[in-house]
Structure 1
Amino acid sequence: MRFSKLLLPAFVLLFLAAAVLGAALFVPYSGFGKETFVDIPKGTATRHMATLLRQAGVIRFDWQFLLARAIRKDARLQAGEYRFHTAASVWTVFDRIVRGDIFYHQVRVPEGHNMFDIANTLEKQKLIPAEVFLKVARDPALIRDLDPQAPSLEGFLFPSTYRIARHTTAEQVCRMMTDEFRRVWKELNPAPETDIHTIVTLASLVEKESALPQERPQVASVYANRLRKGMRMDADPTVIYAALLENRYRGAIYRSDLDKNHPYNTYRHAGLPPGPIANPGRAALEAALRPAETKFLFFVAKPDGSGAHEFTTDLTEHNKAVLNYRRGAPQH
């Protein structure tokens, strides 16, 4: 009887302790406020992880996380950036970090963006400093097997939306993008004798000069016809790209830019520029591979703001179209 009287309080205490510990581990934190991100660098000690989570308002006490660690001492906690948008229990938080349920940033690379645009996007999203990305993008090593003539990765950083985790390196991002290019290029099924350097460079011009998808094969035909005749491309985007390469682009093209004797200036040099001037999408690549069969040699924007172009076969007709554009008159 006396033993039973001693056992009852001990049982009650044990039950209460279990209830407290259970609540500490399995009840969502009521003090959680708003969405927050916690960055756990590689090599972070468990004790410091607990502090980071508490300071971010994800858990109430450090010891709760350390208790979970003591119970799951063999679990491997993974570094990375974690997003917490609802109240969660310490056990759930701990489990997410064990599973490596890290947050991925959506990085959109639109068709026609160049490596400078991509670098700025990554920097704005605080993922990779622009210069760090550009240092890798300027090295064509990742696509040397595809295009031995490539001066950089420009043209091969395929436009798409990428899921990029914090602490992803510039090399890893460039590999994601060039791998996506390889996948799409294979699907396009180019002929074995296709000169990929010429096609990707041509496609980059098509991408920059055509706002309407349906016009891309025609724009490609203009440049293909000019190439066959040994004419200059006379493409404004190449002048802009030359200025970007020399860090002198001021948001518009000036006479000094047109007069600049730069290899990418297609007003000064016949044929295509030394390499792509942007990263073309699938439709532009397809247009460059299979341009429309036309005799067009010129095009100029229509003055109606539609993004469409007037295509012509000789300089006289082209000059008329240019005059109409400058006057803002409708095309006939």
Structure 2
Amino acid sequence: MTGYGRGSGSEPWHPEDPLYGDQGWRGQQADAQQYYQQPQAQHQQQHQAPYGEQQQYQYQEYAGQNGQQYDGGWDSGQQTAMPYGTPPGPADPYGGQRPDLYGTPEAYPPPQPPGRRRAPEQRPAHDEPQQYQEPEEENHPFFSDGDDDRDEDRGPGSDEPAGTRRERRDQSKKSKKTKKRKSRNGVACLVVALVLVGGAGGVAYFGYQFWQSRFGEAPDFEGTGTAETVQVEIPQGAGGYEIAAILVKNGVVKSQGAFVSAQDKNPRGKLIQAGVYTLKKEMSAASAVDLMLQPSSRNSLVIPEGKRNSWVYAEIDKRLGVKSGTTATVAAKKAANLGLPEWATGHPEVKDPLEGFLFPASYPVAKGTKPEDVLKKMVARANAEYGKVDLEGKYKGLGLKNPWELLTVASLVQAEGKTDDDFRRMSEVVYNRLKPTNSETNQLLQFDSAFNYLQGESNIDISESEINSNQDPYNTYTQRGLTPGPISNPGLVALEAAMNPTKDGWMYFVATDGMNKTEFAKTHAEFLKLKDKFNDSKGRD
């Protein structure tokens, strides 16, 4: 026979199995009551019954359940005896010496009918499992109203019935629970309200900040500032917001927005240049813009295109308030440590290794700055600008030996020319005269500006006898080829012209008016006509 939840085997379930005879409530009640009413000897005898009798017992058990052989069930309190006794079991493998675990009713008490069941709190530990009870609500001081469950209205000697007191206590408990829930709900509402108020405040704050940044006026100081002054350095290429950030950091203006707005409203606001400015603390943005546009507030040195290093050194001395010649001495002694590129070093016979590297621009030069630091900034700017125009790559297609020679050509045309067209034609003159096939001048450049450089002058009226007798390497009337190095600091226009000369065959040029007008010639005959024109302008025969 196959039992429920078991597989088929050589013998049915043993009567000692706790699940034996699990046939519902009534079957369990009848079987357990009949089983515990039998004497001990009969119980042991039936345990040793043969296998056939067990089958008969199981059949009778099945018939007893399905036939419902009882009279009135639990409701009448009477039970019809089952037609069978305790089910016999298989032979005892221990020879009858094993103790009977079911000898007393207390070992396995029969189940109780529904009407006689005790309350869960009165049941023994081994009885049926208790029904689920809702846990009592925690009486936390935060949610409590300060009352407890004690019956304070009635003392121990009260003649009020116990049931009435119990009902009143239950009613009090319900009332207190309602109060607790209300108190808890009130606290929760308060927390939510605080969160909403805080969130609304945050939204309002950030909303105001957004509106202020987009539509409101930026914070600003009033007036022209305090008596306290400060020096502010504006770097090259700085825009409005970058300038404003520097001014805010130094306490000059109150906000970037105010300065940029004032700069936009001023017609000349975009003309603020790099340099060191002496400004006042806590200025209005409009006052700061006006003052920065005044040359008197600017402690910057502006190097024009074509200026020689000697002029730059003298200007630096003046700006720094140091003894004349101080910067020139520093340049001569520390030239190798000022940042020159490798291709600009090691050239013999140069008068100034920094010539051509004090790039024409505006530089902050304020008192207290070291000359060495000022020179480093200028050399660094020159390196950056020469890198932009690819000086190191362009010389190769022009018949030159290195970038140093290209920079020298640019310095020559910068010193001689007056316009962009002059620069390109003069560049062609240089390249044509450097050619080995030049039979017109035999590779002599014959530039007056080079002679003036070696003389430290700017005199355009030079006698032929003076020029022809001088054998200085910088004298292009007596020395073939280029000068040992640049003779000025060329600007970007002259550099571009040196890299892109005209191709018209120009070999000569003359400043026919002695100052601003330059004319060009391709042959020596044409040159002589231009020379006569120059002499006429000077009143010469």
Coarse TM-score class (shorter-chain normalised)? 0.5 to 0.7
Determine the C-alpha separation between the residues in 1 that align with 2:502 and 2:412. 15
Structure 2 equivalent of residue 323 of structure 1: 532
Structure 2 equivalent of residue 117 of structure 1: 311
Structure 1 equivalent of residue 472 of structure 2: 262
Q: 1:240 aligns with which of 452, 477, 495?
A: 452
Q: 1:104 deviation in Å?
A: 6.0
Determine the C-alpha separation between the residues in 2 that align with 1:264 and 1:292. 25
The 8 Å contact of residues 157 and 181 in structure 1, kept in 2 or not, is answered as yes
The SS at the match of 1:270 is coil
The answer as to 2:302 corresponding to 1:108 is yes
Max Rg structure: 2
Cα deviation, 1:13-72, whole Å, max 9, x if unaligned, reads xxxxxxxxxxxxxxx9x996xx9899xxxxxxxxxxxxxxxxxxxxxxxxxxxxxxxxxx
TM-score w.r.t. structure 1 length?
0.63
Residue type of the partner of 1:184?
E
Q: 1:278 deviation in Å?
A: 0.7
The 8 Å contact of residues 115 and 137 in structure 1, kept in 2 or not, is answered as no
Determine the C-alpha separation between the residues in 1 that align with 2:405 and 2:372. 25
Cα deviation, 1:211-241, whole Å, max 9, x if unaligned, reads 1123211111101111113511111111111
Determine the C-alpha separation between the residues in 2 that align with 1:301 and 1:312. 12
Residue type of the partner of 2:525?
T
Q: What is the number of equivalent residue pairs in this alignment?
A: 240
Determine the C-alpha separation between the residues in 1 that align with 2:429 and 2:533. 20
Residue type of the partner of 1:216?
F
TM-score w.r.t. structure 2 length?
0.40
The answer as to 2:370 corresponding to 1:173 is no
Determine the C-alpha separation between the residues in 1 that align with 2:475 and 2:316. 28
Determine the C-alpha separation between the residues in 2 that align with 1:82 and 1:105. 6
Q: 2:506 aligns with which of 285, 288, 296?
A: 296
The answer as to 2:398 corresponding to 1:204 is no
Q: 1:327 deviation in Å?
A: 1.7
Cα deviation, 1:71-93, whole Å, max 9, x if unaligned, reads xxxxxxxxxx99465899xxxxx
Q: 1:254 deviation in Å?
A: 4.7
Residue type of the partner of 1:288?
A
Determine the C-alpha separation between the residues in 2 that align with 1:187 and 1:144. 15
Q: 1:253 deviation in Å?
A: 5.4
The 8 Å contact of residues 239 and 253 in structure 1, kept in 2 or not, is answered as no
Structure 1: gaps (5+ residues): 1-27, 39-80, 89-102
Name whichever of 146-155 and 135-144 sits farther off: 135-144
Q: Which has the higher contact order (CA 8 A, sep 6+)?
A: 1
The 8 Å contact of residues 316 and 371 in structure 2, kept in 1 or not, is answered as no
| CA shift in 2, pair 1:311/1:113, >3 Å | same
The 8 Å contact of residues 394 and 499 in structure 2, kept in 1 or not, is answered as no
Q: 2:520 aligns with which of 296, 311, 319?
A: 311
The SS at the match of 2:485 is coil
Q: 1:257 deviation in Å?
A: 4.5
**Alpha carbon RMSD of aligned pairs, Å?**
3.3
Residue type of the partner of 1:326?
N
Structure 1 equivalent of residue 331 of structure 2: 137
| CA shift in 2, pair 1:257/1:302, >3 Å | closer
Structure 1 equivalent of residue 432 of structure 2: 225
The SS at the match of 1:311 is strand
The 8 Å contact of residues 128 and 170 in structure 1, kept in 2 or not, is answered as no
Residue type of the partner of 2:363?
Y
Structure 2 equivalent of residue 41 of structure 1: none
The 8 Å contact of residues 149 and 197 in structure 1, kept in 2 or not, is answered as no
Q: 1:326 deviation in Å?
A: 2.1
Residue type of the partner of 1:263?
P
